[in-house]
């Protein structure tokens, strides 16, 4: 429910060939369905419903031709910026994982000044927010109280599988492990952009904390039968 597999739309996969190659590997790992989530970020990745739908149709067509047994859908990973704030405020329709389940990310270093306002506004509009990779934000790492505050505000947490095995950094890994130990994980996602991350994903299945995370009451399964 978090990956970058539509060719040329963001910093993820760049060619249709690579897209199909990675999707084939997901299928072999046992994944039944992928909801891929191109970045929508007003400064860098100006994707919208049209660009994402077109990319999805292209890849779905190739999946069909290859006879791959995997379902593909698309949503988006929204970056919290002024554009997203106003889209929510104006009631514009957004690309969600399922009805009203919205995946978003923030600045990696400092807490965005409008974070709490965004959570309030989006929740008021009926969205259920899913924070992408909370373990990767500098302003959250090690601050378990701040993480708890976000959860108390109704924000769901999606942990990146590569974080669990230390693919980004040791502090990120430790914080991911801490969130898993607390049971504060609602979704596991690959955040897969490329082959290197796919290789990490394959190795992660043996990891103790990965296994622990998969035994939590995750909501990934709720996205299968839609």
**Which residues make up the interface to Fe ion (CB under 5 A)?**
77, 191
Q: How far apart are CA 101 and CA 44, in angstroms?
A: 23
Which is nearer to Fe ion, 108 or 120 (by Cβ)?
108
End-to-end CA distance of the chain: 13
Q: How far is the CB of 224 from Fe ion (least distance, A)?
A: 21
Q: How far is the CB of 2 from Fe ion (least distance, A)?
A: 6
Q: How far is the CB of 56 from Fe ion (least distance, A)?
A: 16
Q: How far is the CB of 73 from Fe ion (least distance, A)?
A: 16
Q: How far apart are CA 41 and CA 179, in angstroms?
A: 27
Shortest Cβ contact with Fe ion: which residue?
191
Which is nearer to Fe ion, 135 or 191 (by Cβ)?
191
Which is nearer to Fe ion, 186 or 191 (by Cβ)?
191
Please enumerate in sequence order all residues whose Cβ is within 8 A of that of 160, keeping only pairs 6 or more positions apart, or say none. Answer: 2, 132, 133, 135, 136, 167, 168, 176, 189, 190, 191
Local structure of residue 40 (DSSP, 8 states): E
Polymer length of the chain:
226
Which is nearer to Fe ion, 141 or 215 (by Cβ)?
141
Which H or E run includes 129?
strand 128-132
Which is nearer to Fe ion, 173 or 190 (by Cβ)?
190
Q: How far is the CB of 133 from Fe ion (least distance, A)?
A: 7
Maximum Cα interatomic distance, the chain, rounded to a whole number of Å: 49
């Amino acid at each position: 429910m978090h990956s970058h597999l539509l060719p040329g739309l963001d910093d993820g996969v760049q060619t249709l060939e690579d897209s199909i190659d990675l999707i084939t590997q997901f299928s072999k790992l046992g994944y039944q369905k992928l909801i891929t989530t191109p970045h929508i970020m007003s400064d860098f990745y100006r994707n919208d419903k049209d660009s994402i739908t077109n990319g999805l149709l292209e890849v779905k067509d190739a999946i069909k031709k290859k006879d791959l047994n995997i379902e593909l859908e698309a949503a988006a990973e929204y970056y919290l910026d002024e554009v997203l704030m106003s889209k929510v405020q104006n009631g514009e329709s957004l690309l969600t994982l399922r009805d009203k389940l919205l995946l978003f990310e923030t600045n990696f270093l400092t807490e965005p000044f409008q974070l709490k306002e965004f959570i309030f506004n989006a929740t008021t509009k009926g969205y259920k927010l899913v924070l992408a990779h909370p373990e990767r934000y500098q302003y959250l790492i090690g601050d378990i109280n701040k993480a708890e505050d976000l959860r108390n505000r109704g924000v769901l947490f999606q942990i990146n599988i590569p974080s669990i095995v230390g693919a980004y950094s040791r502090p990120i890994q430790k914080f991911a492990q801490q969130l898993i130990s607390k049971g504060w994980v609602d979704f596991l996602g690959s955040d897969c952009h490329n082959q290197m991350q796919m290789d990490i994903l394959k190795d992660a299945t043996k990891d103790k904390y990965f296994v622990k995370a998969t035994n939590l009451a995750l909501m990934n399964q709720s996205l299968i039968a839609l």
